[in-house]
């Protein structure tokens, strides 16, 4: 048997990365540093450039994703910083069913003549590969929000690089526990840390991770200049949430898989969309938008809310947002399965669905 050391596994990394040294009388967890100003002459200099609480969070998430992490004030602040890399008039490829905020940012930049956008059907790998030709940036989600389409990442990454484009993966839904795009060759990973990373519906925060030191430096300079930085308390809470990411994802995924089997058999449900992993499920109600709206107001445990990835179960009809793509069914309900007892979740959901059948 080999005695050679092995790298810690993801669950261990989630618990231990980003902690202070084990020096006697040092705090066990990185404390919150509330500071906008530092004494000159060191590495910190000013509160827009660095904060020890950010650094602890960035060390932990970077270790999980296999790169160097930069934290941001929100997921969309991180997205905006990546899109800022694209040259004037250059082409960006993205899934047509990307997160609504990402699509709106792309549309805004295109309307102002900053970039050219090509939205693609992520399920058609050949079409996505073809679209990479002439692109400067390929911005993927896998699974997509809320259609839950999964990208065949290796050939798309290869095509993007052949075209000289950067390849980004929004890894918010999968988390680094279920998918590590950097290991597949992606240049950048982006997270809405508001969701699974923090996990308790009380933090607004984003992150970018890359294994490319040059890209890291460019993005950090953009963050420093724009000032899209997180607060120290948000960073502390996100890191504390990250410590239990593996437990929360495991339970949410187990619950989701149980619910998927039962939902597929319910007469009120016309379609179940589930990528086979993670805690997000989308269902399409057989009777359309009215039934979907009724469902989201009939439950007691399931909460009608627009965010996801928390310990509690939430859901919403996505087409209630006027800017959601018309290719998303009117009766689609995106469900963020929490960590409650699955039988309680099913009892609550089943009673509401029975009323609609």
Confidence of residue 143 (pLDDT cuts 50, 70, 90): very high
In a domain, 328, yes or no: yes
Report the alpha-carbon distance of residue 80 to residue 183 in Å, rounded. 24
Question: Per-residue confidence at 80, pLDDT binned at 50, 70, 90?
Answer: very high
Instruction: Choose among 130, 196, 195: nearest CA to 163.
Output: 130
pLDDT digits (tens, 9 = 90+) for 200-255: 999 999 999 999 999 999 999 999 999 999 999 999 999 999 999 999 999 999 99
Active site (catalytic) residues: 48, 99, 170, 195
> Do 237 and 257 reside in the same domain of the chain?
no
Residues 160 and 203 in one domain: yes
pLDDT over 60 (residue 85): yes
pLDDT of residue 330: 97
Instruction: Compute the average pLDDT of residues 335-344.
Output: 98
Among 242, 257, 289, residue at a domain's last position:
242
For the cut 80, the answer to whether the pLDDT of residue 343 exceeds it is yes
Confidence at residue 7, expressed as pLDDT on a 0 to 100 scale: 87
Amino acid 3: pLDDT: 57
Cβ contact 99:145 at 8 Å: yes
> What's the whole-number mean pLDDT along residues 3-27?
88
- Across 145-158, average pLDDT: 98
Residues 145 and 228 in one domain: yes
CATH number at residue 152: 3.40.640.10
**Looking at residues 99-109, what average pLDDT do you find?**
97
Mean pLDDT of the chain, nearest integer: 96
Among positive and negative, which fits the CA dihedral 318, 320, 324, 326? positive
- The residue-averaged pLDDT of 35-53 equals 94
pLDDT band at 199 (very low <50, low <70, confident <90, very high): very high
Which two three-digit tokens encode residue 181?
Answer: 């795009």
Does residue 1 surpass a pLDDT of 60? no
* CB-CB contact of 167 with 161 (8 Å): yes
Tell me, yes or no, whether 22 lies in a domain: yes
Regarding whether 258 and 237 lie in a shared domain, the answer is no
- Domain shared by 42 and 131, yes or no: yes
pLDDT at 18: 95
- Is position 130 within any domain? yes
The answer to the question of residue 169 being in a domain is: yes
- Asked whether residue 5 is assigned to any structural domain, the reply reads no
Residue 177: what pLDDT?
98
pTM (two decimals): 0.96
How much is the pLDDT for 185? 98
**Measured distance CA(341)–CA(233) in Å, rounded:** 30
**Is residue 146 in a domain?**
yes
Both 159 and 281 in a single domain?
no
**Could you write out the DSSP letters of every residue in 146-173?**
TT-----HHHHHHHHHHTT-EEEEE-TT
Same domain? For 161 and 201 the reply is yes
Render pLDDT for 111-128 as a digit per residue (tens, 0 to 9): 999 999 999 999 999 999
pLDDT digits (tens, 9 = 90+) for 253-301: 999 999 999 999 999 999 999 999 999 999 999 999 999 999 999 999 9
280: domain CATH number is 3.90.1150.10
Largest CA distance in the chain: 69
Residues in the chain, total: 357
Question: Does position 320 have pLDDT exceeding 80, yes or no?
Answer: yes
Specify whether 201 is located in the same domain as 267. no
Residue at a domain's end among 242, 262, 286: 242
pLDDT at position 161, please?
A: 98
Domain identity same for 165 and 252: no
The separation between CA 90 and the C-alpha centre of its own chain, rounded to angstroms, equals 25
175 has a pLDDT exceeding 90 = yes
Section 121-139 average pLDDT? 98
Show which of 177, 212, 242 is a domain's final residue: 242
pLDDT beyond 60 at 2: no
Residues 174 and 140 in one domain: yes
Q: Structural domain of residue 40, as residue ranges?
A: 10-242
Judge if 216 and 276 occupy the same domain.
no
**Is the domain of 220 the same as that of 252?**
no
Domain total of the chain: 2
1 located within any domain = no
């Amino acid at each position: 048997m080999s005695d050679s050391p092995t790298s810690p596994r993801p669950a261990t990394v989630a618990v231990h990365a980003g902690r202070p040294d084990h020096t006697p009388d040092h705090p066990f967890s990185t404390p919150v540093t509330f500071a906008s100003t530092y004494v000159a002459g060191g590495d910190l200099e000013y509160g827009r450039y660095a904060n020890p609480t950010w650094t602890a969070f960035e060390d932990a998430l970077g270790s999980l994703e296999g790169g160097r992490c930069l934290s941001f004030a929100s997921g969309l602040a991180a997205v905006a910083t990546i899109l800022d890399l694209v040259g004037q008039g250059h082409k960006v490829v993205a899934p047509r069913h990307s997160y609504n905020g990402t699509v709106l940012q792309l549309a805004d930049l295109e309307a102002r003549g900053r970039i050219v956008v090509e939205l693609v059907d992520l399920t058609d790998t050949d079409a996505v590969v073809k679209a990479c030709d002439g692109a400067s940036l390929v911005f993927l989600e896998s699974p997509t929000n809320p259609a839950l389409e999964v990208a065949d990442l290796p050939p798309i990454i290869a095509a993007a690089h052949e075209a000289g484009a950067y390849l980004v993966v929004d890894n918010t839904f999968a988390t680094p526990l279920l998918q590590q795009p950097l290991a597949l060759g992606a240049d950048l990973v982006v997270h809405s840390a508001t969701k699974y990373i923090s996990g308790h519906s009380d933090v607004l925060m984003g992150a970018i991770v890359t294994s490319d030191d040059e890209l890291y430096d460019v993005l950090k300079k953009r963050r420093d200049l724009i000032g899209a930085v997180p607060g120290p308390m948000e960073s502390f809470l996100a890191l504390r949430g990250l410590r239990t990411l593996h437990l929360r994802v495991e339970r949410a995924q187990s619950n989701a898989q149980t619910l998927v089997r039962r939902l597929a058999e319910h007469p009120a449900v016309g379609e179940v969309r589930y990528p086979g992993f993670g805690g997000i499920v989308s269902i399409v109600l057989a009777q359309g938008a009215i039934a979907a709206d009724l469902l989201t107001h009939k439950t007691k445990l399931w909460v009608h809310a627009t965010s996801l990835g928390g310990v509690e179960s939430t859901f919403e009809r996505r087409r209630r947002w006027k800017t959601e793509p018309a290719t998303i069914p009117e009766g689609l309900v995106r469900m963020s399965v929490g960590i409650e007892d699955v039988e309680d979740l099913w009892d609550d959901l089943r009673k509401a669905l029975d009323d609609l059948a």
